[in-house]
């Protein structure tokens, strides 16, 4: 698995990662409340889902975005939260216990340390999770690999960039077929789930990110 650069907990760049922010805020909730209440099917209950929608501020899945199409929010209505829940279980950072989601010792060791979260959770998310499951097609075409993607992102985002510029650098001008999908931001390196883990929402929008 590719090693990412170590980041200090105080690095301001960490604030731009919705994934890191979501993990940290989830840990903070558990620290305050002792655990996240679960439904009988072991999904997070609405009280936490509503709170997370407001607090995570996930690009494309903000509180306003979600309530524009839902009167109430269950976990499946907030896709990034479902991914985060599965991710924490897969990494054994938390477990289901007596109707609640509680942190394990491994999870507790990351609480309050966003730099550690970035160095531990983000690589697992990028390289171990099947991102095709977030696509409309289970066999979604992957144009390239993360070795290339991360090197390009590292260079091109140094002084700020846009999603459109990154798409052109990675794949050239969009045409027909698979490459045309990149115009919509569907490419794996710029997927609304994957890119924000590193860059925040700017990489999937038209604004500069620096």
Residue-wise pLDDT for 5-16, tens only, equals 788 999 998 888
Mean pLDDT computed over 185-193: 44
Mean pLDDT score of the chain, rounded to an integer? 79
Q: Is pLDDT larger for residue 70 or for residue 198?
A: 70
pLDDT at 25: 97
SS3 for the chain, per residue? CCCCCCCCCCCHHHHHCHHHHHHHHHHHHHHHHCCEEECCCCCECHHHHHHHHHHHCECCECHHHHHCCCCCCCHHHCHHHHHHHHHHHHCCCEEEECCEEEECHHHHHHCCCHHHHHHHHHHHHHHHCCHHHHCCCCCCCCCCCHHHHHHHHHHHCCCCECHHHHHHHHHCCCCCCHHHHHHHCCCHHHCCCCHHHHHCHHHHCCCCEC
> Can you give the residue ranges of every domain in the chain?
12-129, 132-204
Reply yes or no on whether the pLDDT at 134 is more than 80: no
pLDDT at 204: 38
pLDDT at 155: 76
Mean pLDDT computed over 50-68: 95
pLDDT at 189: 42
Reply yes or no on whether the pLDDT at 145 is more than 80: no
Out of 15-24, 101-110, 182-191, the most confident range is: 101-110
pLDDT bracket for residue 206 (50, 70, 90) = very low
Mean pLDDT computed over 198-205: 43
pLDDT at 146: 64
pTM over 0.75: no
Mean pLDDT computed over 4-30: 91
């Amino acid at each position: 698995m590719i090693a990412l650069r170590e980041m200090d907990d105080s690095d301001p760049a960490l604030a731009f990662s919705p994934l890191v922010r979501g993990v940290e805020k989830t840990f903070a909730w558990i620290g305050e409340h002792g655990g996240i209440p679960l439904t009988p099917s072991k999904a997070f209950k609405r009280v936490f889902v509503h709170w997370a929608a407001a607090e995570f501020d996930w690009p494309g899945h903000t509180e306003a975005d979600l309530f524009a199409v839902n009167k109430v929010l269950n976990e499946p209505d907030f896709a990034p939260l479902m991914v985060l829940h599965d991710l924490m279980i897969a990494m054994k950072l938390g477990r289901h216990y007596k109707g609640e989601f509680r942190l394990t010792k491994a999870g507790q060791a990351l609480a309050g340390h966003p730099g550690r979260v970035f160095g531990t959770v983000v690589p697992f998310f990028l390289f171990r999770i099947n991102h095709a499951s977030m696509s409309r097609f289970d066999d979604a075409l992957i144009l390239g690999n993360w070795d290339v993607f991360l090197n390009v992102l590292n260079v091109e985002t140094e002084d700020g960039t846009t999603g459109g510029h990154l798409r052109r650098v990675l794949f050239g001008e969009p045409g027909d077929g698979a490459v045309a999908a990149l115009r919509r931001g569907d490419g794996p390196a710029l997927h609304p789930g994957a890119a924000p883990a590193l860059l925040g929402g700017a990489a999937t929008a038209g604004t500069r990110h620096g």
